[in-house]
Amino acid sequence: MDDGVALDASVLVLNRFYMAIRVISAKRAFALMWKQLAEVVCVEDGRFDSYDLDSWIEVSKLRENWPIEGHDDWVNTVSMRIRVPRVIRLLGYDRLPQQRVKLNRRNIFARDENKCQYCGKKFSTAELSLDHILPRSRGGESSWENLVCACTRCNKRKGGRTPEEASMRLIRRPAMPRRSPVIRLKLRSPKYVSWKTFLDEAYWSVELR
């Protein structure tokens, strides 16, 4: 994998009490480890092992003799290869995680799984836009309950009308998710299976930053 891509990989951040608080890039995670502000938390067979940056480098060197999960990302330096951690813990941060999912374009696209909420077809991000169910020109707000993904064709067909006026139906009623929808999508990948240990469906709402 290209180093730039590996450094953009997602890393789950825990506070000092092992509570999930946010997701950051691998580049940011390595910076925190280098400043001795964080340590790697590796989950194996229900056991947590912690590593500072130096010990994590040593563990990376022993890759062939160490049981690891698949789909690893690696960063290459002049003298070594370092495995990208999946989870880190902030050594001096004890604040509680935020409980409200941030309303932004990325989270709405993830909530709707890149599907037009009128025709139900999946599109690339470039082919989708955000539609206000009740148009803004008629007082519609930018909220979880009034914003959905729409393809170009459906958005043009709907225009400045409500779905009922345009004889269109939503495939599902939009709502605010209980946790970051991007997190939900990532948990489907074996790459992030270790995150599940720290993400209780009934409690955490992890905000992406």
Do residues 130 and 150 make contact, with C-beta atoms less than 8 angstroms apart? yes
Are 189 and 90 in a shared domain? yes
Are 150 and 70 in a shared domain? no
CA distance 33 to 101: 27
Question: Residue 203 — very low, low, confident or very high, per pLDDT cuts 50/70/90?
Answer: very low
172 falls within a domain: no
Is the pTM for the entire model greater than 0.75? no
Are 33 and 67 in a shared domain? yes
User: What integer is the mean pLDDT of 128-137?
Assistant: 96
Count of the separate structural domains present in the chain: 2
Domain housing 29: 3-98+181-208
Are 42 and 143 in a shared domain? no
Are 150 and 197 in a shared domain? no
User: What integer is the mean pLDDT of 173-187?
Assistant: 84
Q: Using CB atoms within 10 Å of the CB of residue 2, give its burial: 0 to 12 exposed, 13 to 18 middle, 19+ buried.
A: exposed
Classified as helix, coil or strand, 7 is helix
The chain-wide mean pLDDT, for the chain, equals 86
- Of the candidate ranges 4-13, 51-60, 69-78, 122-131, the one whose mean pLDDT is the lowest: 69-78
Chain position carrying tokens 């990325």: 106
Are 79 and 111 in a shared domain? no
Question: Residue 158 — very low, low, confident or very high, per pLDDT cuts 50/70/90?
Answer: very high
Are 127 and 200 in a shared domain? no
Are 75 and 134 in a shared domain? no
CATH number, domain with residue 145:
1.10.30.50
- 53-109 pLDDT, tens digit per residue, is 999 998 888 764 554 555 788 888 877 889 999 999 999 877 766 667 889 998 999
Are 51 and 87 in a shared domain? yes
74 falls within a domain: yes
b or e along 169-201 (b: 16 or more beta carbons within 10 Å of the residue's beta carbon)? Answer: eeeeebeebebbbbbbebbeeebbebbebbbee
Percent of the chain with pLDDT over 90: 53
